[in-house]
Structure 1
Amino acid sequence: MASESESRHVLKLALASASVVWYISLWTIGMIGCVAARKRYRLRPRSPLASAPASSVPGVSIIRPLKGLDTNLYENLESTFMQEYANFELWFCVDDEDDQALPIVRDLMAKYPNVNARIAIRNSLTVGVNPKVNNLMTAYRQAAHDILWVLDSNVMVDVGTLARSVDILSPPSTAHPPKHRIGVVHHVPFAYVSKPSLGSYVEQAFLNTNHAKMYIAINTVAVESCVVGKSCLYRKSDLERVDGSFRPIANAENGGQQPGERGLEAFGRFLAEDNMIAGALWHELGLRHDLSCDVAHNAIGDMTLMDYIARRIRWIRVRKRMVFAATMVEPFTESILAGCLASLGLNYLLGIPPWLFLLLHFLVWLYVDFDVYASLAGYPMPTAIRLQFIFAWIVRELLALPIWFVAIVGNVVVWRGTRYEVLQNGEVRKASQDGGGLLGWLRRRGRKSADYYEPLEVRE
């Protein structure tokens, strides 16, 4: 009996110690993200390239995939016309001539006649199941420059973003050579709510705190590729050598390449092509990634709570097939589960009351999230929106675990009205369009976001 009691004590001691060690490790990662955000985003100096002549800066092809009237579309697209950079071209990609975004594009082309802007019509060009890749292909093949900047239609950028990003991707030859050449420069999303709704506020709370904190931390430690493709720069010449297999190329430094299909078309079989492109450049060519000091201003429109839930389910299911272990651990990185486990562990080890620990835990966690928000925004959170943000933050935290449980048991996702089955390694195939299951119900419960335009201030 004594032996059984002793064994039970050892097990409890081990579990309690493990929960505390995990909690400390999680806070270490969170503080890395918080401190890195402070250092990187609170000062955005003007790049020398912003005022350099066209002959002295690398050319860049900016490619924007479009489909319909996204939130704040006019201002989002206009921000790329306004880049302080002397050598770039603009490509706007649509599926057909009837796309509702085209009148806006043509208005902007007339407003900025000195900008080399073009429209790429996909028509029937298809290289895979991913509609975004299909949309990009015409511009990708006709791009005049090796450096590509691909950014989503719901993203707005500061006027100095391109110059600062090229500084990182193609540093001056006089600069100290980095240990690894940079293959991707990307920008952390920072969400703006253009039209108030519960789902929009919850999405904003997620992107501007927990997501940003972990995203910045992982990229600061840089032990693995972690890229969200809302705004990415990379070289076409690099992409033309990889195929998404993640198999290292033996002679990569001497121009080696994968056999068979390569380039952007090779990524048409993936749903998260942005993440896979970044991973391929990392694993196959040995190139590293870097964040600039800019953010991708992500305009969020009329998103219902069901829209938010369906979106999170979709990307957890995709990520599950790409990074299974990390997805399984994800619930333990959330404030509620991590805090509850640590409170039980500390109560067993040190006798600290769980209620007292949890009170301090949530207050400090929220404070750090506010600090990350302030770093990305460039200013503290306005007092007028603080209470509504805290409410949205609480809703986000409470939904995290239930959403994960729903997402983890299925492999079917809905993206832009089409159902896909996610296969091994993140590849997808079209699924039956019956819209069944919980995800179909969520989709039916949500409503299509309204088309509207509300100017957002671009801060330099």
Structure 2
Amino acid sequence: MTAALSPPVSILKPVRGLDDELEENLESFYRLDYPFYEILFALDSWNDQACEVIRKVAAKYPQIPTVILAPGHDPNQNPKIHKLSRMESESRGRLLWITDSNVRVEPNTLSRLVAEYLSSGASLVFSPILGTSSRSFTSLMENASLNFFTSGNVIALWKLLAKPVVVGKSMLIDRVAIGSFGGFQFFKDNLAEDYLIGQSFLKKGFKVRTNFTWVMNINQQVTVQSFFKRLARWAKLRYQLNRPVYIMEIVLNPIVLALLEAAAFGPLFWQPVLLVTALKILLEYINFLAVNIKDRRRFLNHLLFPAAVVVKDFIFLAVYLTPFLSSTVDWRGGKIKVGKNSLICPTPAYEGYSLPLKC
């Protein structure tokens, strides 16, 4: 991409704690084949362990302008939006590229996204997520979930139903477009900011596009607890965003249907359960071979994959119930209560404090 066709880009990276291979993730953004960009980081505090890693990487690439901020944390606002708002005010680019700290990209990723922005006239360009780098049984479950359930459903909605759905691991956004809402701060009261940014752009007449340029979500070591918490958080957000669709998601799950039939009609229906399970494993394995080039090089992943799919789907069955039991989600070490449309319900600071009606 020539300099004349390369609008300046500000890369905004909210960071908290040490993600798997954080240094390598950050370095991938300093090696982009794009002429004009800066990178801004926002931490909760200067004591965050990630701060040292950021400084180390930035020192290797002094030619790339880098800004590190520590805006703190407001417990009654979306933590990510709080950081994005501060970075937005300090940034200079015409385009804002939001990427999470556990994301890794190829050198041509930004060029491809900007090319889509320029050719389509879009105000938001979205990237699907590729979960990769599995080094444990649980990380294999995590990445299989991201690649088949999350990215699979999102891509199906884009391609089959022409319904843009945005997941915020990577979003290239036009500064003027987000500025028309008053900046990222407009979305501070909702936890599902990525989905709502996409929907708000569409409602206002801005184009939302993707050219299916993947970004890698690095998950090497994942605990069962963190995996369950992430699934539960996303389940609760989906429930609050669209309850009828969430109920359909449960009812139409093939394993749920097969188990219900077996429970209702007895032993004869356990055969369909086994058949459905085998087909589900086969579909996910084909997807694994097709998209996860890095993980398929590790022989142990092939041996563990069938069991990972089965265990993952049983965890999913338990997760489906969580929105009916609690509206509180775990987020980066804290707890946030969410209401309808993922509205963040503030913690009452004093007696007589009234919560929003949708909480």
Report if TM-score (shorter chain) is over 0.5: yes
| Change in 2 beyond 3 A, CA 1:370/1:420 | same
C-alpha separation between the residues in 2 aligned to 1:306 and 1:56? 46
C-alpha separation between the residues in 1 aligned to 2:230 and 2:170? 19
Q: Is the 8 A contact 1:128 1:134 kept in 2?
A: no
Moved over 6 A (4+): 341-344
| Change in 2 beyond 3 A, CA 1:90/1:286 | closer
Q: Report SS of the residue matched to 1:182.
A: coil
Aligned length: 346
Shift, 1:209, TM fit: 1.9
Deviations 1:333-380 (A, max 9, x none): 433024457999xx9xxxxx8566555443333222222223322479
Matched, 1:276 2:196: yes
Q: Is the 8 A contact 2:285 2:305 kept in 1?
A: no
C-alpha separation between the residues in 2 aligned to 1:378 and 1:113? 32
Matched, 1:87 2:36: yes
Q: Which residue of 1 aligns with 2:279?
A: 364
C-alpha separation between the residues in 2 aligned to 1:105 and 1:135? 16
Alignment partner of 1:192 out of 132, 136, 139? 132
Q: Is the 8 A contact 2:138 2:222 kept in 1?
A: yes
Alignment partner of 1:161 out of 90, 102, 109? 109
Q: Which residue of 2 aligns with 1:327?
A: 246
C-alpha separation between the residues in 1 aligned to 2:348 and 2:313? 33
- Counterpart residue type for residue 331 of structure 1: I
Shift, 1:381, TM fit: 3.0
* Structure 1 residue runs without a partner (length 5+): 1-48, 172-177, 243-261, 348-352, 434-460
Q: Report SS of the residue matched to 1:271.
A: coil
Deviations 1:1-29 (A, max 9, x none): xxxxxxxxxxxxxxxxxxxxxxxxxxxxx
C-alpha separation between the residues in 2 aligned to 1:92 and 1:380? 29
| Change in 2 beyond 3 A, CA 1:406/1:56 | closer
Q: Which residue of 1 aligns with 2:59?
A: 110
Q: Which residue of 2 aligns with 1:8?
A: none
- Counterpart residue type for residue 184 of structure 1: L
Alignment partner of 1:218 out of 145, 149, 157? 157
Matched, 1:265 2:185: yes
TM-score, normalized by length of structure 2?
0.87
Alignment partner of 2:122 out of 166, 175, 182? 182
* Structure 2 residue runs without a partner (length 5+): 350-359
Larger Rg: 1
Q: Report SS of the residue matched to 1:381.
A: helix
Alignment partner of 1:204 out of 143, 151, 154? 143
TM-score, normalized by length of structure 1?
0.69
Q: Which residue of 2 aligns with 1:227?
A: 166
Q: Which residue of 1 aligns with 2:352?
A: none
Moved more, 317-326 or 298-307: 298-307
C-alpha separation between the residues in 2 aligned to 1:421 and 1:273? 15
Q: Report SS of the residue matched to 2:47.
A: coil
| Change in 2 beyond 3 A, CA 1:56/1:120 | same
| Change in 2 beyond 3 A, CA 1:371/1:341 | same
C-alpha separation between the residues in 1 aligned to 2:324 and 2:209? 29
Q: Is the 8 A contact 1:127 1:134 kept in 2?
A: no
C-alpha separation between the residues in 1 aligned to 2:294 and 2:85? 39
C-alpha separation between the residues in 2 aligned to 1:183 and 1:324? 29
C-alpha separation between the residues in 2 aligned to 1:143 and 1:75? 24
C-alpha separation between the residues in 2 aligned to 1:368 and 1:194? 19
Deviations 1:375-412 (A, max 9, x none): 32247934431121211111011222221113333211
C-alpha separation between the residues in 2 aligned to 1:281 and 1:305? 36
